[in-house]
Amino acid sequence: MSASSTLLEPSAESGKRSKVMAKDTPRATAETMAAKQRDISVAEFFAKNRHLLGFDNPRKAVLTTVKEAVDNSLDACEEAGILPDITVVIEDLQPDRPASAKSSRYRITVVDNGPGIVRKQVENVFGRLLFGSKFHRLKMSRGQQGIGISAAGMYGLITTGKPMMIQTRPKSTLPAHHIELAMNTKTNRAEVTLDEETDDFPLKRLRDVTPGTRELSGQGLFLSQRDYPTGTSVSIELEGRYQKGRGSVDEFLELTAIANPHAKITLVPPSRESAVEEDDVPLLKAAKRTKGEVDEDPKADPRTLPDASLTQPAPTGPTVTTEVGGVLVYPRGVTELPPETKEIQPHPKGIELGTLLQMLKDYEASEKGGTLYKFLQEKFCRVSAQSASTFCEKIGATSRTKVSDIESPQAEKLFKEFQESKLPPPPTDCLAPIGVRQLLAGLLKGVRAEFYAASSREAEVYRGRPFQIEAAIAFGGELPADDSSRVIRFANRVPLLFQQSACSSFKAVAETTWRNYNLQQPRGSLPVGPLVIMIHMASVWVPFTSESKEAIADYDEIRKEMKLALMECGRKLGTYLRKRQKMQRESERRDIFERYIGEITKAVSAINGVDDKKLYDALLTQARKRTAIADLELDEDGKAIKDDEPLEDGVLIVEGAIPGGGGDTPPVAQTKAEAAMLKVLGSRDDEPGLMDVKPVKRGSGKESKSGRSTASTKGPEKSAKKPTEKPTEKLAKEPAREKVSASAPAAPAPKPRMRLVNGKAVPVDDAKLF
Amino acid sequence: MAKKPAETSKSTISKSVKERDKKTLGSIVDLADGVSKTALAMREPKFAIPMRTKSNTIWNKKRGILQMGDGTSERELFNLNQAKQFMQTCLHASSIKDLIAVEKTLSLRGMFYKGLHTVAGTKEKTFSDQDESDGILEDLEVSMGALREELHIFAKKKGTMIGNITIIDSGDEIDCRKMGSGGYSIPSIVEPDVMQFKKCDAKFVLHVEKDTVWGRFNEDKFWQKHNCILTEGGGQPSRGVRRLLQRLNTELGLPIYCLLDCDPWGHYIFSVIKQGSISLAFESQRLAIPDAKFIGVRSKDYKECKLSDDVQILLNDNDIKRAKEIAAYPWFEENRGWQKEIQGLLSNGFKMEVESLITKDISYVTEEYVPQRLKAKDWLD
């Protein structure tokens, strides 16, 4: 600022005034100013403009810190080919603060089982802003700028004066490094305040933070060394505010778990929430709230409810999978890592003129005497030798023309030719979509619904950048029926929590005609019903509307793809709903006949003394024949249909979804999601099919046991594969059984004849009837 | 309850009653056999139930009554809309068998409760209300060709009688001259085996629509002055009232005069008394009184009796529609008097209740109106 005003100084008017003033105080001269002019450290800049990095209020600071650390952990694990296991611990360091306190001091620790960081890189990774591998390349990854975690550390330092604490163990056989870093904002360098070797990784202290962590670690399920042989742990102390609800850490992790079914995420929330405050509204305003959202769920607070293990998160809305003593565990849904993505060169159609000029300059500098012909082929994708020479010809150059000889008008012409050329679209192997199977696995994990469908589009191109859209929907079950559906958005597997209505995906959802799929939809807005809509955009460069990376820009190409993906899901839902209606009618029909046959037999036999059993059987046989369709469906998942009946009245009681209340609920009991997961794994990727998942009764002794065994074998990843795969094979082998009932332990349809009594299948017991 | 049919029926069991029960029992067993035989032969069980609809009602011009046609509808077990009714039919058939076995009688409401229970293994009740049960019983009457009393069922009492007649009801002698202000309440079953006429001095029967009007006549001792029997049916007369009127008409030869409101509803009541109704067409020969006369109130009375404007009740669209329907009934269609009467009602554009005559004088209707009409033989056939 001061520099620019200096330039204006010599103008006549201001010169006069300065002369007058100069009498009192000596004015700055070019020399004195020059002394003050120096480099602005990027770190210093961001320290003063923290809102640009998502630290604009205490609540968002907590979220952003968790988000940056988790994004880094996921990226690191994936690059190293490790299935991510991430634990987030938020400790309240001022638990005795008055209830009205708007913020508190927290220590946020994020532990991963990634490859760890070699000692000499620690300062660079955590202590420098704009240090990273992701910024300059066109590669699909979560982070892009490389400012996240170091900015969080800096925020902590500014608000609490405490350095960032890092433990990292790159080799399981060697001790871990314990390093404490304080960022020097002036030099953009980290200062190491402590550097020692330790065997305490993951930190034992964390196992004793809450009753829940004690309980879990007692069973070896929380931060055990076996699960974290290598990895990194980052602790940042900061002044912030922890609250649940929209835009919270809980929501972020919940959605991250959905988009990353290969990751296991554990969250230990602080013992209490901060006082609710009005200035939180901007956060909440960003996304339209739905009824299913739990803002302040007292059950989630282990202090007000010591036996939180018995309670379940609110039954409506997307919910976490398990909760033990306040610790939320989002289990792993699939055991495959997403494919590794390739880096690509820019596509000619996707660059700006300025970028082209810069690229020419850079090429000239690196390749002395390099030709334009070579430049075009090397620095762009999809430019063949033939098209390179065509470009050269068109701008009046030859294949031997050197880059250094290209004049500015020629470059401009080249840029125009790029736009008009007919080049093949950029390669798409640089994208790693989540995939239909994993989308389903992720949704199953996070949303208690009854119907799930997913669709993955082919890769497309906007402005020369490849992208791919995926959509998935979850319907019914415990989702709130009378509310606007909830849209959850992701870009490169990262949840987008704010500015929903500015996002292209929101517009795509509103523009899709959901009425065609038997759903209600007010004009121009989201459909209404028990529906969660998930949209994921994978791209080498996601066009965000702003630096805060909260909404996807509304490009026609992108919105069109989103709509097509949604329509595909919608069609599946429509088919399912129609089919469900039909099956319901049929089974009602059968139900009615069978219901009255007993009465008729009794009455007729009382009149004429006919053999009641014979008559009953004869009538039943006829009834069965007449409702053969219902019979067919009943064998597969007929009972399920009966269970859904309350839905028709807007009642959302799904039997078994609410825990039976048994005190011995295992920490990671087999949940509906887990059972359903077996099914997902059994299904083929190319055929997502229709799915409806039935809840498993939890808490009753037998099932709990089986649940525990499944859970405990899940410990080390390698051994976990076997037990999960076995039932998978079994399910897959069943002929013509796309729709195997998920309620595996609840014994789906036994072979002996069942009759429906009051909506429940009971074995036919003739003796009972007479 | 004034009547104790169960006890008395025992004491008066006659040979004919036993025979009757045997016949009823036979048709119930036939019904059950039909179900079990078809079911065991793996065919679909169904009942054929004569249709109680207008299309299946025939106007017997010669006898002047409505009769039921031969049309039947099928009630199938394996039909979503009929399954429950099928079950209910079986239940009631079985209940009737029980009643015959213990020689007792039940009211329609009693039958509803006898058949009422929760369907095994569900929360559904066999009957959701009495109307359902009543409909099934009518179906059984029709399909078995048996009367309600033959099924040991009676309806709620409705209607009152007073006048110069002595009857025997279930063995008790009743002098209808000494019934005070309340009158003798007409039971649902007035068949000869329950009720006999002992002594009758009356020369005719005056049937009025409602008990309010009836009370007026009784207080003025109309039946004493004119030596008649006074009855009322509480609006649409029940089967018991109609059967009693029919017996008084056919057995004792008493003419029946009806004093009803001047509106489509009054006309319809008269039509039912005279020719029978669609839903009970199968009982017309027992209930209809082709001989009955309509003495008022007539549409011309507004002018003739010089009634005030205040008594007018404007016809609504529904009334007009109904009046036109009634005018098109075959038994009214060829009756010029009735065509003129209904035309008069429509051109008046308003209805009149019997009570409207009270505006002239409290006892105008008993002392002037009815006597004058009877004397002048001014009535409609």
Judged against a pLDDT cut of 70, whether residue A725 lies above it is answered with no
Q: Could B42 and A621 be called an inter-chain contact, meaning their C-beta atoms sit closer than 8 Å?
A: yes
pLDDT of residue A680: 45
Contact between residue A265 and residue A236 where contact means Cβ atoms under 8 Å apart: no
Query: In the structure, what pLDDT confidence band is assigned to residue A5 with cuts at 50, 70 and 90?
Result: very low
Element (H, E) at B362: none
pLDDT of residue A302: 35
pLDDT in tens, B217-272: 999 999 999 999 999 998 889 889 999 999 999 999 999 999 999 999 999 999 99
A180 phi/psi in degrees, rounded to 5: -120, 130
pLDDT of residue A9: 40
Query: In the structure, what pLDDT confidence band is assigned to residue A39 with cuts at 50, 70 and 90?
Result: low
Same-domain pairing of B320 and B226: yes
What is d(CA B230, CA B184) in angstroms, rounded to the nearest whole number?
Answer: 10
Out of B31, B80, B93, whose CB is closest to A592? B80
Query: In the structure, what pLDDT confidence band is assigned to residue A288 with cuts at 50, 70 and 90?
Result: very low
Look at residue B273 and tell me if it is in a domain: yes
Say whether domain A348-420 belongs to CATH 3.30.420.40.
no
pLDDT of residue A598: 87
Contacts of B68-71 with CB under 8 Å at 24 or more apart are: B68/B142, B68/B281, B68/B282, B68/B284
Same-domain pairing of B277 and B129: no
Contact between residue B24 and residue B96 where contact means Cβ atoms under 8 Å apart: yes
Identity (one letter) of the amino acid at B139? D
pLDDT of residue A215: 85
Any idea what DSSP says for residue A698?
-
Mean of pLDDT values over A701-727: 36
First-to-last C-alpha distance (Å) of chain A: 96
Same-domain pairing of B167 and B290: yes
Judged against a pLDDT cut of 90, whether residue A703 lies above it is answered with no
Contact between residue A149 and residue A68 where contact means Cβ atoms under 8 Å apart: yes
Residues of chain B neighbouring A613 (CB-CB closer than 8 A): none
Whether B7 and chain A come into contact, CB under 8 Å, resolves to no
> Which residues on neighbouring strands pair with residue A111, listed in sequence order?
A87, A233
pLDDT of residue A38: 65
Whether A734 and chain B come into contact, CB under 8 Å, resolves to no
Say whether domain A49-330 belongs to CATH 3.30.70.3150.
no
Residues of chain A neighbouring B45 (CB-CB closer than 8 A): 619
Out of B29, B44, B87, whose CB is closest to A596? B87
Instruction: Locate the chain B residue with the closest alpha carbon to A626.
Output: B78
What would the DSSP string read from start to end of A291-319? TT--SS-GGG-TTT-TTGGG--S-SSSS-
CATH code (residue B176): 3.40.1360.10
Active site residue B364: no
Residue that is last in its domain, among B154, B178, B203: B154
Q: In what order do the strands lie in the sheet with B204-208?
A: B184-185, B160-163, B228-232, B204-208, B256-259, B293-296
What is d(CA A708, CA A665) in angstroms, rounded to the nearest whole number?
Answer: 9
Element (H, E) at B57: strand B57-60
Residue that is last in its domain, among B98, B122, B154: B154
Same-domain pairing of B132 and B262: no
Look at residue B52 and tell me if it is in a domain: no
Look at residue B121 and tell me if it is in a domain: yes
pLDDT of residue A307: 35
Q: How many domains does chain B have?
A: 2
pLDDT of residue B15: 64
Identity (one letter) of the amino acid at B265? W
pLDDT of residue A744: 34
Whether A619 and chain B come into contact, CB under 8 Å, resolves to yes
Look at residue B314 and tell me if it is in a domain: yes
Same-domain pairing of B146 and B287: no
Question: Which portions of chain B are predicted below pLDDT 50?
Answer: 1-13
Q: Could A757 and B122 be called an inter-chain contact, meaning their C-beta atoms sit closer than 8 Å?
A: yes
Q: Could B28 and A595 be called an inter-chain contact, meaning their C-beta atoms sit closer than 8 Å?
A: no
What is the percent of chain A where pLDDT is above 70?
Answer: 67
> Which residues on neighbouring strands pair with residue A261, listed in sequence order?
none
CATH code (residue B102): 1.10.10.10
pLDDT of residue A585: 74
Query: In the structure, what pLDDT confidence band is assigned to residue A135 with cuts at 50, 70 and 90?
Result: low
Q: Could A600 and B87 be called an inter-chain contact, meaning their C-beta atoms sit closer than 8 Å?
A: yes
What is d(CA B118, CA B126) in angstroms, rounded to the nearest whole number?
Answer: 6
What is d(CA A451, CA A688) in angstroms, rounded to the nearest whole number?
Answer: 12
> Which residues on neighbouring strands pair with residue A189, listed in sequence order?
A184
Out of A600, A614, A757, whose CB is closest to B77? A600
Look at residue B69 and tell me if it is in a domain: no
What is d(CA A189, CA A438) in angstroms, rounded to the nearest whole number?
Answer: 41
Contact between residue A140 and residue A132 where contact means Cβ atoms under 8 Å apart: no
Same-domain pairing of B249 and B146: no
What is d(CA A436, CA A269) in angstroms, rounded to the nearest whole number?
Answer: 31
> Which residues on neighbouring strands pair with residue A309, listed in sequence order?
none
Identity (one letter) of the amino acid at A562? M
pLDDT of residue A206: 87
What is d(CA B232, CA A547) in angstroms, rounded to the nearest whole number?
Answer: 91
Same-domain pairing of B87 and B226: no
Look at residue B3 and tell me if it is in a domain: no
pLDDT of residue B207: 95
> Which residues on neighbouring strands pair with residue A86, listed in sequence order?
A265
Judged against a pLDDT cut of 60, whether residue A33 lies above it is answered with yes
- Name the CA dihedral angle for A250, A254, A259, A262, rounded to a multiple of 10 degrees: 110
Residues of chain A neighbouring B42 (CB-CB closer than 8 A): 618, 621-622
Interface test with B, best of A588, A597, A599, A629 (most B CBs within 10 A): A599
Residue that is last in its domain, among B122, B154, B186: B154
Token duo for residue B165: 């007649």
Q: Could B120 and A769 be called an inter-chain contact, meaning their C-beta atoms sit closer than 8 Å?
A: yes
Any idea what DSSP says for residue A477?
T
pLDDT of residue A548: 67
Same-domain pairing of B339 and B265: yes
Look at residue B120 and tell me if it is in a domain: yes
Domain residues for B210? 160-376
Interface test with A, best of B79, B82, B90 (most A CBs within 10 A): B90
pLDDT in tens, A309-338: 333 333 333 334 677 778 888 888 778 888
User: Rounded mean pLDDT of chain B?
Assistant: 87
Any idea what DSSP says for residue A714?
T
Q: Could B31 and A610 be called an inter-chain contact, meaning their C-beta atoms sit closer than 8 Å?
A: no
Same-domain pairing of B232 and B106: no
Token duo for residue A249: 């850490």
Task: Respond yes or no on whether the N-terminal peptide bond of residue B297 is cis (omega within 30° of 0).
Answer: yes
Q: Could A595 and B119 be called an inter-chain contact, meaning their C-beta atoms sit closer than 8 Å?
A: yes
Judged against a pLDDT cut of 80, whether residue A762 lies above it is answered with no
Question: Shortest Cα distance from A582 to chain B (angstroms)?
Answer: 15
HSE-up (13 A, CA, CB side) for residue A764: 15
pLDDT of residue B198: 92
Same-domain pairing of B107 and B149: yes
Same-domain pairing of B119 and B257: no
Residues of chain A neighbouring B127 (CB-CB closer than 8 A): none
Element (H, E) at B381: none
pLDDT of residue A203: 85
Q: Structural domain boundaries of chain A?
A: 2-38, 49-330, 348-420, 672-769
Contact between residue A217 and residue A162 where contact means Cβ atoms under 8 Å apart: no
Residues of chain B neighbouring A605 (CB-CB closer than 8 A): 36
What is d(CA B181, CA B230) in angstroms, rounded to the nearest whole number?
Answer: 12
Q: Could A618 and B42 be called an inter-chain contact, meaning their C-beta atoms sit closer than 8 Å?
A: yes
Residues of chain A neighbouring B119 (CB-CB closer than 8 A): 595-596, 598-599
Instruction: Locate the chain A residue with the closest alpha carbon to B101.
Output: A607
Catalytic residue among B113, B257, B329, B369: B113
Token duo for residue A35: 């002394």
| A53 alpha-carbon distance from chain centroid | 20
pLDDT of residue A711: 34
Identity (one letter) of the amino acid at B64? G
pLDDT of residue B222: 92
pLDDT of residue A144: 56
What is d(CA B129, CA B94) in angstroms, rounded to the nearest whole number?
Answer: 19
pLDDT of residue A768: 36
pLDDT in tens, A445-495: 777 777 888 888 888 888 778 899 999 888 887 788 788 888 999 988 888
Same-domain pairing of B295 and B174: yes
Residues of chain B neighbouring A592 (CB-CB closer than 8 A): 80, 83-84
